[in-house]
Amino acid sequence: MSDQTLDLTAIVPELRTRGLLPADTAGVFASGSMVRGWGNETSDVDVHVITGSLRESSIAETGHVSLEPNVLTYERVYVNGRRWDIEYWTQSQVDQLLAKVTWEAYNSPDSPWSTLSRTELGMLERLPYAAAADDGGWLSDVQQRLRDSAHRVILVGISLRESDGLVEDAAGQLAAGDVHSAVIAARLAFNHIVDALQAQEGQFGSLWPKWRARRMTLINSKVLTFETYWATETMANFDSGNPGAWVEDTIGLCRKISSELEV
């Protein structure tokens, strides 16, 4: 089966050999679990290619973004038994994306970041741990622009708002006696508040909840220890005879974490 380490230097030659590296390529990088060292035998390799102009795709798959042009194109290949998902962005699309998370954008009453699509959010969450597959100049510049921007506080805020809404839902449902719905809402609220906490600590990944526990091990949070996180994530203290108590405890925990976050 496939090697579970990723040879970054092999990516560009492989793309070039297969005709998947446009002449106007500005940057190539890998992201995802393989880069973070969390890969397993069936993990895909996520490759991103930044080009000057929109590349035609040979497969039907496209992604939609709130940018111009409003589509991303993809390729999918298998290299030594491992699937590579290759996503193409134009330089202009990346520039537009970064423009949505500048401090100026953050302070704007128009809230440009509110138009972030799921795919755009994914790119913003991937970029901080991306690994260059070329000389690294392009990625290094973009990562510096992110560090200088409101990227972190905006990503914290997005997860925080999701949690806030679900906490209100859970409280209302509990008050109305709809305990089952309140349990689900409280559980989801907790998921989002953990994402917000992790984002504040620089561990982004709300779109990849499967790695939440891994990320939790990478932050040293006084407000939420791993033990408390895991007990809540797994609903270890849930009493089916008194589900309301779990909802109240979980909302209380969300509130405690929330008060430690700054947006």
Partner 1 sequence: MTEQNDSAPVPRIPLNVRLRKHRGRHLAIGYEHALELSPTAVFIWNQIDGTTDVDGIAQAVSTEYAIDVETALEDVRALLDELSGHQLVVWDSSAQPRHG
Q: How far is the CB of 143 from partner 1 (least distance, A)?
A: 25
Q: Judged by CB, which is closer to partner 1: 45, or 193?
A: 193
25 DSSP 8-state letter = E
Can you tell me the distance from the alpha carbon of 252 to that of 249, in angstroms, rounded to the nearest whole number? 5
Q: Judged by CB, which is closer to partner 1: 117, or 228?
A: 228
Q: Judged by CB, which is closer to partner 1: 110, or 262?
A: 262
How many degrees, rounded to 5, is the angle at CA 102 between CA 162 and CA 111?
A: 45
- Sequence-distant (≥ 6) Cβ neighbours of residue 141 within 8 angstroms: none
Binding residues for partner 1, rule: CB under 8 A, are 164, 167-168, 170-172, 174-175, 248, 251-252, 255, 258-263
**b or e along 129-149 (b: 16 or more beta carbons within 10 Å of the residue's beta carbon)?**
bbbbbbeeebbeebbebbeeb
Q: How far is the CB of 231 from partner 1 (least distance, A)?
A: 20
Q: How far is the CB of 169 from partner 1 (least distance, A)?
A: 9
Q: Judged by CB, which is closer to partner 1: 103, or 230?
A: 103
Q: How far is the CB of 121 from partner 1 (least distance, A)?
A: 21
Q: How far is the CB of 99 from partner 1 (least distance, A)?
A: 21
**Among candidate residues 166, 118, 147, 139, the one with its CA nearest the CA of residue 47:** 139
Q: Judged by CB, which is closer to partner 1: 52, or 172?
A: 172
- Sequence-distant (≥ 6) Cβ neighbours of residue 38 within 8 angstroms: 211, 214
Question: In this structure, which amino acid lies at residue 136?
Answer: G
